[in-house]
Amino acid sequence: MIKQVKIEGLDCPNCARNLSDEINKLDGITNANIDFVKCKLSFESEDVDEALIKIVELTKELEPQAVITDKEASKKNNKFLILDLTFLFVGIALGFVLFFVKMPVWTYWVLYSVAALLLGWKTYLKAFKLLFKGIINENMLITISVVGASIVSEHMEGLMVIALYSIGKIFEGLAVNRSRRSIEKLVKMQPEYANLLVGGEEKQVKPEEVAVGDKIVVKAGERVPLDGKVCQGVASLNLQSLTGESVPVSKKVGDEVLSGSIVLDGVLTLVVTSLYKDSTISKIMNLVENASENKSKTETFISKITRWYTLGVVVLAVLVWGIVWAVSKDFNTALYRGLIFLVVSCPCAFAISVPLSYFSGLGNASRQGVLIKGSNFLDACANLNMVAFDKTGTLTTGQFSLEKITTFKGRTEEEVLFLAAIGEKGSIHPLAKAIVAACRKKRLPKPEKFKETAGVGVKFEYNGKKYFVGRKDKTLKNTAVELYENGAKLAVFELADTIKETSYQACSGLKEIGIKTVMLSGDNEESVQSVCQQIGLDEYHCSLLPQDKYAFLENEKSAGAKVGYVGDGINDAPSLTVSNVGFSMGINGSPASIEASDVVLVDDNPNKILTAIKISRFTRKIVWENIILSALVKAVFLSLGAAGITGMLWAVFADVGVTVLAILNSIRALNHKA
């Protein structure tokens, strides 16, 4: 059985990784994993309750400040923070006393020991507990450095090492928690209840209990719990948490409303159009919750290398000590420089900033209506140089509109439109619906002897005359409809799929950042070419079957292109899967296309592809800035320390300072506006 709980109080990814490794060694527990950024612990066990008891005991032993949460977890963590700050303040105060006040030797050593313990008791405790389990991490590096500084009589530097390290850890925790709180706002979008109408009375129920076709009431200040269509009321909605759109959107009778949006004023009555598990908000929650499972190559590499990094650092520090001792013949000097090497080499900057950068990027994209299923796909978006679009439902709305009427036999446009609408009223074909919508008559008479033939058209009688609405002339384009009366042609209706306004923005924006745009459609060349020219795409391919699209994408990838594919239908699933990054529509997209895709555009807006790419490129830039900055600073101070130019104090600044800078830089990915 799989169990997931919340774990709070862990202050670094290495701690989380070490703890999950030790949990996996417990009897009866498998696949334990701690998500450091989201503070979640998941594991598998046949006896979950017994396993949880073991996990809690182990956690108290290795990470006493960590809490397997209950509702009081945050308060407990605040108590730990206050305790840490108190010990830090007292320890630093004792350090000043030792530095400025002359005292007997025994008094000095007592106060020095107390100060060192107050400043680093948690670090030392972790170091030795993990050492007994065969794990060496940054806690051991700092502990060795403090002990070593004491041995070579650099007492004040020893205290400064542990004091600055502890201050750095507190700042790291505050920075990480800030990022966590920003991400958690997404999870809080989940509605807790729905106001279900039962017999004219409102009943508060869980969203999962509402069925399709039920009516719910959403009042001002409430979050829409399920997708639905307005059947009563007018209101302004805040969609910012879903789509990133800050301007309120007005909704009236007949309009679709997405779950997760907030009613700002008025009251809406909605007819529910999807179950909670299939609703927009549920899809968002699932994607946000699982996004951290798919890690980028960079993040995976950093995670793996830090497991062996610390042990390697210890070996190199011993090597530095040996070389300096051999050259200088001074044991204390050699030991001191080896200790500097240990302090500078702590892997915190890499281990924290890289996963935090990616999660900040994912959270930022989610806030702007782009759900990316993992940091690996975030990286893949940054590499795209071609985006291929499906046409209908992706670049166009999939809803047809009447563009032109050509009449014959002296008939007026209004007259032929009325006659065609009489017959088309009984059809469910999209072209038929467009003709009926174009007719301004509110009430249409019922046709006699109505008969619809799929792929041909409708036949009916009206006022003793026989009519046919469909297409007999095969030279006409697929979206043209003819009207015949007793065999004589009365009119030709030309219809067109409406292009989304955001499609124009998407195309121009992608071109500006150097990405080639292509349309792959199963429609005829005339309609595809028309849409392509209007939007300004670089290339189009028409009359394609799903396997043809698949083959095109494979060929482009073989030629070295990094291709993104955008689609919404079941037939797009193969293309979404084979592309480097598959983008699907979140509202009108089929479940198959959403499942097969790597990125979901919540509001079906093609321009959000540009948002995804810009955020991914910015996030990748942040990741490499952190890696290069950390590596460069450490390399410089390792060299200076080994040469005896800088002391241990600068080593601590190099380690803690660069870690805090890297974390603060990571948070920029959370606030970047694409």
Residue 549 in contact with residue 575, Cβ under 8 Å? yes
Cα 296–Cα 302–Cα 303 angle in degrees, nearest 5: 90
Residue 600 in contact with residue 594, Cβ under 8 Å? yes
CA dihedral 350, 356, 361, 366 (to 10 degrees): 160
3-state secondary structure of 190: coil
Q: Taking Cα atoms as reference points, which of 325, 138, 659, 316 lies closest to residue 146?
A: 138
Cα 653–Cα 659–Cα 660 angle in degrees, nearest 5: 90
Tokens of 668: 């920029």
CA dihedral 313, 316, 317, 323 (to 10 degrees): -170
| φ/ψ of residue 238, rounded to 5 | -95, 115
How many residues comprise the chain? 674
Distance in angstroms (rounded) separating the CA atoms of residues 144 and 341 = 11
Q: What are the angstrom distances between the C-alpha of 391 and each of 455, 530, 581, 604?
A: 21, 11, 18, 13
Task: Return the DSSP state at 153.
Answer: T
Residue 481 in contact with residue 495, Cβ under 8 Å? yes
At a CB cut-off of 8 Å and minimum separation 6, what does 386 contact? 515, 516, 517, 518, 556, 561, 562, 563, 564
3-state secondary structure of 193: coil
Half-sphere exposure of 230 (CA within 13 A, CB side): 22
**In terms of C-beta density within 10 A (0-12 exposed, 13-18 middle, 19 or more buried), how is residue 58 classed?**
middle
Distance in angstroms (rounded) separating the CA atoms of residues 455 and 50 = 64
Distance in angstroms (rounded) separating the CA atoms of residues 619 and 420 = 55
Tokens of 632: 């460069």
Which residues are marked as active site? 390
Distance in angstroms (rounded) separating the CA atoms of residues 334 and 88 = 30
Distance in angstroms (rounded) separating the CA atoms of residues 656 and 634 = 11
Amino acid at 101: V
Residue 105: CB atoms within 10 A of its CB come to 7
Distance in angstroms (rounded) separating the CA atoms of residues 639 and 644 = 9
Amino acid at 94: L
